[in-house]
Amino acid sequence: MLLSVVIPCMNEEESIPLLVKRLIAATEQWNAESEIILVDDGSNDETWRAICAQSEFHPRIRGLKLSGNRGHQIALTAGLNAAQGQRIFMLDADLQDPPELLSDMMAMMDQGYDVVYGRRSERKGESWIKKVTAHGFYRILNRLSDVPIPNDTGDFRLVSRRALDAVLSMPERARFVRGMFAWVGFRQIGIEYIRDPRIAGETKYPMSKMIRFALDALASFSIKPLQIATRMAFLTLIIAALMAVYVFWSLILYNAVAGWASTVLVISFFSGIQLLTLGIMGEYLGRLYIEAKNRPLYFVDQETSEISDPIVEEK
Ligand code: UDP
Ligand code: MG
């Protein structure tokens, strides 16, 4: 049985040597064949060169260089498309997800599970903002989504070929991979682990990317925000009706209604609600437009198997 390991890498030149070392040690415990697929997601450091160098030493390492930066989830998808194994193990390049957990995950899969996902019981070396927002994100997502998506899981998981094929058969462009694995079903189980700090470099998820990622996940797995917008409309209508009653009574009692301040307040309140509703609709409409264009998810620029001797060539 062949095991495929898939790792998206963006500007991870410093992590790659240690990553490969620990991965090879972890996969060697498993007495069968394995391939390691490192996807370079349009890095602008020496990541591709590091991948090529590793593939020279270890024939089981395959490198895939995308034509530009397509984002974590697309890079992961590119690697999953290239994977040929019967079981597929995915993790981050920064060693925040310990490869040593592979043997436990394998043992769980032997019991008949199709997906064994890692659940973070603790996050080390991450900022409190990241911890708080991540904690909140999974809980809000679960509230809104119709599919239960396990809390505090990342893309660190071991999956069977049939679970992977199910995910790869989903044609959507907005790919929230961990949610897609939850959606396909089959027998799934979590395994708790402590998330280590990055071994090198900085996080590739600044706040702006995190917000985009969260909105993508919410919009892909729930239409409840649209329904919430409808409910908000009813709520504002009720408030407007109550205010009408107040104005009517004021006219009868005092023959006048006071208020420049209240007018401004009401106008800004209602225009705020309107813009918010429009914004929510826009988020969905934009995604619909992107799906409708149906562009390819990524292009492969180079593969290590195509290059004769990349390091020597340059010198
Ligand atoms: N990554 C990627 N493309 C991107 C951003 C990130 O391939 O545009 C990779 C990155 O190299 C790492 C993984 O995705 O292997 C997770 O990123 P990171 O560790 O920065 O995220 P964090 O752990 O901070 O949430
Ligand atoms: Mg990380």
Q: What is the pLDDT of residue 310?
A: 39
- Read off the pLDDT band of 312 (50, 70, 90): very low
**Which residue's C-alpha comes closest to atom 13 of ligand 1?**
92
The Cα 150–Cα 310 span in angstroms is 42
Mean pLDDT of 176-182: 93
pLDDT band of residue 164 (cuts 50, 70, 90) is very high
User: Which of 7, 9, 10 for a ligand 1 pocket mutation test, highest count of atoms within 8 Å of Cβ?
Assistant: 10
Q: Is residue 111 within 8 Å of residue 27, measured between CB atoms? A: no
Q: Tell me which CATH code domain 3-221+296-304 carries.
A: 3.90.550.10
- What does the angle CA 278 – CA 284 – CA 289 come to, to the nearest 5 degrees? 115
Nearest to 67 by CA among 48, 90, 42, 46: 42
Contacts with 307 (C-beta within 8 Å, 6 or more apart), sequence order: 52, 313
Q: Which of 13-17, 144-148, 227-231 has the highest mean pLDDT?
A: 13-17
Given a cut of 50, whether residue 291 has pLDDT beyond it is yes
The pLDDT assigned to 306 comes to 58
Interior/surface letters 250-264, b for 16+ CB within 10 angstroms, e for the rest: eeeeeeeeeeeeeee
CB-defined site of ligand 1, < 6 Å: 8-10, 12, 41, 69, 71-72, 75, 92-94, 96, 203-205
Comparing 26-30, 76-80, 113-117, the range with the smallest average pLDDT is: 26-30
The whole-model pTM stands at: 0.82
| CA 91 to ligand 2 centroid distance, Å | 9
* Best probe residue, ligand 1, of 94, 124, 216 (max atoms within 8 Å of C-beta): 94
Q: Place 314 in a pLDDT band, splitting at 50, 70 and 90.
A: very low
Q: In this predicted structure, what is the pLDDT of residue 101?
A: 93
- Tell how far the Cα of 15 is from the centroid of ligand 1, in angstroms: 12
Cα(18) to ligand 2 centroid in Å equals: 15
What is the pLDDT, as a whole number, of residue 253? 85
Q: Which ligand is nearest to the CA of 19?
A: 1
| Mean of pLDDT over the chain | 88
**In angstroms, what is the span from residue 96 Cα to ligand 2's centroid?**
6
Domain residues of the chain, as ranges?
3-221+296-304, 223-293
- How crowded is residue 21: how many other Cβ atoms within 10 Å of its Cβ? 13
- The lowest-confidence range among 88-97, 99-108, 128-137, 282-291 is 128-137
Three-state helix/strand/coil letters over the chain: CCEEEEEEECCCCCCHHHHHHHHHHHHHCCCCCEEEEEEECCCCCCHHHHHHHHHHHCCCEEEEEECCCCCHHHHHHHHHHHCCCCEEEECCCCCCCCHHHHHHHHHHHHCCCCEEEEEEEEECCCCHHHHHHHHHHHHHHHHHCCCCCCCCEEEEEEEEHHHHHHHHCCCCCCCCHHHHHHHHCCCEEEEEEEECCCCCCCCCCCHHHHHHHHHHHHHHHCCHHHHHHHHHHHHHHHHHHHHHHHHHHHHHHHCCCCCHHHHHHHHHHHHHHHHHHHHHHHHHHHHHHHHHHCCCCCCEEEEHHHCCCHHHHHC
Torsion sign (Cα): 297, 298, 303, 307: positive
What whole-number distance in Å separates Cα of residue 207 and Cα of residue 229? 25
pLDDT for 313 beyond 80: no
Of all residues in the chain, the percent with pLDDT exceeding 90 is 46
Probe residue for ligand 1, chosen from 205, 213, 216, 298 as the CB with the greatest number of ligand atoms within 8 Å: 205
Higher-pLDDT residue of 169 and 144 is: 169
Q: Which ligand is nearest to the CA of 207?
A: 1
> Is residue 157 predicted with pLDDT exceeding 90?
yes
**Among protein residues, the one whose CA lies closest to atom 6 of ligand 1:** 72
Report, as an integer, the average pLDDT of 5-23.
93
Cα of 273 vs centre of ligand 2, distance in Å, is 37
Distance, CA 85 to ligand 2 centroid (Å)?
25
The ligand minimizing its distance to the Cα of 70 is 1
The stretch 19-41 carries a mean pLDDT of 88
pLDDT band at 261 (very low <50, low <70, confident <90, very high): confident
Q: Report pLDDT digits (tens) over 122-132.
A: 877 778 888 88
pLDDT digits (tens, 9 = 90+) for 201-226: 888 888 888 888 888 888 888 888 88
Closest ligand 1 atom to the C-alpha of 12?
11
The whole-number pLDDT of residue 69 equals: 94
Q: Which ligand 1 atom is the nearest neighbour of the CA of 42? A: 3
Closest residue to atom 16 of ligand 1, CA basis: 92
Name 75's Cβ contacts closer than 8 Å, sequence gap at least 6: 8, 9, 10, 39, 41, 66, 298
Q: Does residue 147 register a pLDDT over 90?
A: no
- Confidence check: pLDDT of 300 > 90: yes
- pLDDT of 308: 45
**Which one, of 157, 13, 37, lies nearest residue 94 by Cα?**
13
Task: Give the pLDDT of residue 309.
Answer: 46
Say yes or no to pLDDT of 241 above 90.
no
